[in-house]
């Protein structure tokens, strides 16, 4: 049975946290808005726009908490703030570097920029992509976890692959609340299913239940300011995401692997935390094992098609040389060239079948 077909069973199973972990170094948390008892951070990918609009429509006009949103959009232009504001009573804007969070407002990561927080101040960066995405969900969630602790509410919605899983885990480990859309109701179940598989989530609910749940959580009197501090791994990762790429940060949380970064061709380091299994490179690119595997597949496919193109051009040249040889009275040279071109055509067809995924193991 697929992992997303039994979300509530997974929710209950994942609530058992390992008790024997060695305590990590403690660090001081940034000052945050003292009059705010919660911050909501939402991550979404494929199918996320309609999901976000449904949530926006169901939130009340007096919703008291700021809402930060990362929707995978890449470098494409986005009108998501306008759509959110048109659908519901809350204002919505693209986040601006240096602006402070405002209660009852959607702050949406703009195209091709990661959205990070330092306390209640937003920062935008065109830092390295994470899980092949910019904006990515994990960077926002990790900075929220570090500076907002138990006042953070993380929400993972529909999407492919697993961006948001590691960040949601950080929020949960810092005392925050983890919410996941029921994967059986998601347009793309991968992201919420991954979060359920790796995070001890607090709530796994259908899409139409998320807004009422947020109202209850944000309004709960029990949500108080805490002085809990981020663990060492989180502090080092957030430092990298804020632009400090000194090797000391990476060496403190990861170890060298034999793999290569698909974005910059540098060496990848395997993170010490194995749930989920993740990798980072020297300059800041970050991947889960799932996204890295997906990227490797695309790289291999592109390489195969590039080889197919080069071999087809060689075949065309061989056949042209053979034709000229036959026209100029050299049938032996022509036959040799045509035979070589025929053998090349067979190789081309095999490689093209591999690129299309049409060859089984015996054929390969």
Considering the domain architecture, whether residues 32 and 109 belong to the same structural domain is answered as: yes
Q: How far apart are the first and last CA of the chain?
A: 30
pLDDT of residue 6: 43
Percent of residues, the chain, with pLDDT higher than 70 = 86
Convert 142-176 to b/e letters by CB count within 10 Å (16 or more is b): bbbbbbbbbbbbbbbbbbbbbbbbbbbbbbbbbeb
Distance separating alpha carbons of residues 220 and 74, to the nearest angstrom: 36
Gap between the Cα atoms of 162 and 31, Å rounded: 30
Q: How far apart are CA 90 and CA 105, in angstroms?
A: 6
Options 45, 78, 194, 290, the catalytic residue: 45
What tokens were used for 241?
């995401």
Are 320 and 189 part of one and the same domain?
A: no
Out of 120, 138, 147, 163, which one is annotated catalytic?
163
Q: What average pLDDT does the chain have? A: 88
Model confidence pLDDT, tens digit, residues 26-65: 444 555 555 578 999 999 999 999 999 999 999 999 999 9
Q: Six-digit token pair at 303?
A: 């390489």
Can the peptide bond before residue 276 be classed as cis, meaning omega within 30 degrees of 0?
A: yes
| Paired tokens of 8 | 């509530």
Instruction: Indicate if 147 belongs to the active site.
Output: no
Taking the C-alpha atoms of residue 160 and residue 5, their distance in angstroms, rounded to an integer, is 16
Quick one: 298 and 222 in the same domain? Answer: no
**Is 80 exceeded by the pLDDT of residue 21?**
no
Is the same domain home to 297 and 225?
A: no
- Known catalytic membership, residue 72: yes
Decide if pLDDT at 15 tops 80.
Answer: no
Together in a domain, 331 and 227: no
Report CA torsion sign: 209, 214, 220, 226: positive
Q: Residue 16: pLDDT above 80?
A: no
- Does the pLDDT value for residue 164 go beyond 50? yes
Of 195-209, 290-304, 308-322, minimum mean pLDDT range? 290-304
138 with 209, same domain: the answer is yes
Contact 57, 172 (CB under 8 A): no
> Which one of 207, 232, 257 terminates a domain?
232
What's the pLDDT at 357? 80
Residues 298 and 196 in one domain: no
State phi, psi for 114 to the nearest 5 degrees.
-75, 140
Name the domain boundary from 232, 251, 274: 232
Helix (H, G, I), strand (E, B) or coil at 215: helix
CA distance 163 to 290: 10
For residue 296, the model assigns a pLDDT of 86
Note if 257 is an active site residue.
no
Number of domains making up the chain: 2
Which of 72, 113, 114, 236 is catalytic? The answer is 72
Q: Which CATH number is 91's domain given?
A: 3.40.50.180
Max Cα–Cα distance, the chain, nearest Å: 95
pTM: 0.80
With respect to residue 49, please indicate whether it lies within any of the assigned structural domains: yes
Last residue of a domain, one of 217, 232, 247: 232
Contacts (Cβ under 8 Å, ≥6 apart) of 121 = 98, 99, 100, 101
Please count the residues of the chain. Answer: 364
What kind and span of H or E run contains 360? Answer: none
The pLDDT score that the predictor gives to residue 301 is: 86
On whether residue 337 sits in a domain, the answer given is: yes
Where b means 16+ CB within 10 Å and e means fewer, 330-343 reads: eeeebeebbebbee
> How far apart, in whole angstroms, are the C-alpha atoms of residue 194 and residue 36?
30
Reference 175, options 236, 212, 230, 220; nearest CA is: 230
239 CB-near residues (< 8 Å, 6+ apart)? 249
From start to end of 97-156, where are the E strands?
Answer: 106-108, 114-118, 121-125, 152-156
**What is d(CA 207, CA 155) in angstroms, rounded to the nearest whole number?**
11
CB 189 within 8 A of CB 183: yes
Residues 37 and 132 placed together within one structural domain of the fold: yes
- With respect to residue 267, please indicate whether it lies within any of the assigned structural domains: no
Output the pLDDT for position 20: 40
Identify whether 255 is part of a domain: no
136 and 33 in a common domain: yes
For position 274, what pLDDT does the model report?
83
Q: Identify the domain containing residue 162 by its residue range.
A: 3-16+25-232
**Does residue 161 form part of some domain?**
yes
């Amino acid at each position: 049975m697929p992992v997303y077909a039994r979300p509530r069973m997974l929710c209950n199973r994942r609530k058992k946290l390992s008790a024997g972990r060695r305590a990590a170094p403690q660090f001081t948390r940034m000052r945050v808005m003292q009059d705010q008892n919660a911050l909501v951070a939402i991550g979404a990918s494929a199918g996320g726009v309609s999901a976000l609009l449904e949530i926006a429509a169901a939130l009340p006009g007096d919703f008291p908490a700021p809402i930060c949103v990362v929707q995978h959009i890449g470098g494409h232009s986005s009108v998501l703030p306008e759509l959110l504001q048109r659908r519901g009573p809350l204002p919505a804007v693209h986040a601006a570097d240096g602006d402070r969070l405002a209660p009852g407002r959607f702050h949406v990561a703009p195209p091709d920029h990661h959205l990070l927080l330092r306390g209640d101040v937003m920062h935008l960066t065109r830092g390295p992509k994470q899980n092949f995405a910019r904006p990515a969900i994990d960077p926002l969630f990790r900075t929220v976890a570090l500076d907002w602790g138990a006042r953070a509410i993380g929400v993972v919605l529909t999407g492919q692959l697993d961006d948001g899983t590691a960040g949601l885990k950080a929020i949960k480990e810092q005392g925050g609340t983890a919410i996941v859309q029921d994967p059986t109701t998601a347009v793309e179940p991968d992201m919420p299913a991954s979060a359920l598989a790796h995070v001890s989530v607090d709530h796994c609910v259908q899409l139409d239940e998320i807004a009422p749940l947020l109202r209850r959580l944000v309004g709960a009197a029990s949500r108080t300011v805490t002085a809990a501090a981020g663990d060492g791994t989180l502090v080092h990762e957030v430092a990298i995401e804020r632009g400090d790429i000194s090797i000391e940060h990476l060496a403190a949380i990861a170890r060298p692997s034999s793999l290569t970064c698909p974005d910059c061709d540098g060496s990848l380091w395997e993170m010490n935390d194995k749930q989920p299994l993740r990798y980072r490179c020297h300059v800041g690119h970050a991947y889960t094992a799932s996204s890295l595997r997906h990227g490797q597949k695309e790289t291999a496919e592109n390489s195969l098609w590039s080889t197919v193109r080069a071999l087809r051009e060689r075949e065309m040249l061989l056949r042209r040389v053979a034709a000229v040889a036959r026209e100029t009275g050299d049938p032996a040279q022509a036959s040799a060239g045509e035979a070589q071109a025929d053998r090349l055509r067979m190789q081309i067809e095999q490689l093209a079948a591999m690129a299309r995924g049409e060859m089984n193991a015996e054929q390969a």
